[in-house]
Structure 1
Amino acid sequence: ACAPYRRLQLCNKNLENINKYDNTKAKNDLLAEVCMAANYEAQSLIPYHDKYKQSNEDSQLCTVLARSFADIGDIVRGKDLYGRNNRKRKQLEENLQKYFENIYYGLSNETNAKELQERYKDDTPDFFKLREDWWSLNRETVWKAMTCSEHLKNSAYFRPTCGDSESPSQARNKCRCDDGDVNIVPTYFDYVPQYLRWFEEWA
């Protein structure tokens, strides 16, 4: 599948330039770096979408953000298909692997270290399982960073996905479900294969 124009310019420069040699910094700063990437991406998309919507009235900003959110999730988890610049892509993947290597070796300090080390014992050198778990644990924080702009006030997600399956409700403010919901993230695009999302986006 061809990457959509939005993906060609996805703002992930701070992830490409992370310090992979400072073990302490790598362990402590991964979430901050991913949140910064998400926030910068939103800042770049919001003004562009305002212009785009003038000729495409059905376009919804929350949906656009959800698509980039899912692409960031794929980058973090080592699933991204975009390969326009293979040198930068390789550098980014190496940096992320180094981050997760440091997290992996830091598991020995956790109270449930034995259980965690057993779970990830065959996960090197790519750490795909650890990366998947990290994303599941932190996706809500990343979504908050992506949707913190006041420009998103009263912005709604395109369909009701909040609450339980019996009485779902719609995210209507800053593209977020209400605080009372188990999960404030209204989208599950990040669990749809990237090539299928791109096909749908081009359709």
Structure 2
Amino acid sequence: DIGDIVRGRDLYRGDNREKTKLEKKLKKIFGIIYGKLDKKDRYQNDGDNYFQLREDWWTENRETVWKAITCGHPGGTYFRRTCSNDQRRTNHNCRCAAGDVPTYFDYVPQYLR
């Protein structure tokens, strides 16, 4: 869900005022990021939503964000204890043996979860 929020794809069904407030903050944050970019050509068609910039930012920072979330949880128990398809356990760590984060949920469309 956090990836969807960052990328502007969240199917938020809560308080519309909160959604509007969050989206406004994200536009401000990504506006600041955009303002600091040297190369802006890729984003010139984004408008003030910065959808492509948000997508690129998430792609670049996804692993760091998930590491912060999962490693910050005591014992690395935030997600199920298995990694990838081979069912190896994370053994109370916040990373899989290969070093990747133990989730793929941010790439599964929200309505399918």
Alignment TM class, shorter chain as reference: 0.7 to 0.9
CA shift, 1:79, in A, is 0.9
Please say if residues 156 and 171 of structure 1, whose CA atoms lie closer than 8 Å, have aligned partners that are also in contact: no
Q: 1:187 aligns with which of 84, 98, 103?
A: 103
Please state if 1:144 is matched with 2:67: yes
Aligned to 1:125: 48
Give CA-to-partner distance per residue, 1:118-149, whole Å, 9 cap, x none: 21111122111111111111111111211224
Give CA-to-partner distance per residue, 1:136-164, whole Å, 9 cap, x none: 111111112112246325787454418xx
Q: CA RMSD in A?
A: 2.4
Aligned to 2:11: 81
User: In the comparison of the two structures, how many residue pairs are matched?
Assistant: 112
Aligned to 1:176: 95
Distance 2:23 2:73 in 1: 33
Give the percent of matched residue pairs that are identical in Structure 1 and Structure 2: 51
Please say if residues 67 and 94 of structure 2, whose CA atoms lie closer than 8 Å, have aligned partners that are also in contact: no
Unaligned runs of 5+ in 1: 1-70, 163-167, 198-203
Q: 1:135 aligns with which of 58, 64, 69?
A: 58
SS at match of 2:48: coil
SS at match of 1:89: helix
Aligned to 1:105: 35
Distance 2:66 2:2 in 1: 10
CA shift, 1:83, in A, is 2.8
Unaligned runs of 5+ in 2: none
Q: Which has the larger radius of gyration?
A: 1
SS at match of 2:101: coil
Query: Taking structure 1 as reference, are residues 128 and 89 closer, same or farther at Cα in structure 2, changes over 3 Å only?
Result: same
Query: Taking structure 1 as reference, are residues 83 and 142 closer, same or farther at Cα in structure 2, changes over 3 Å only?
Result: same
CA shift, 1:93, in A, is 0.2
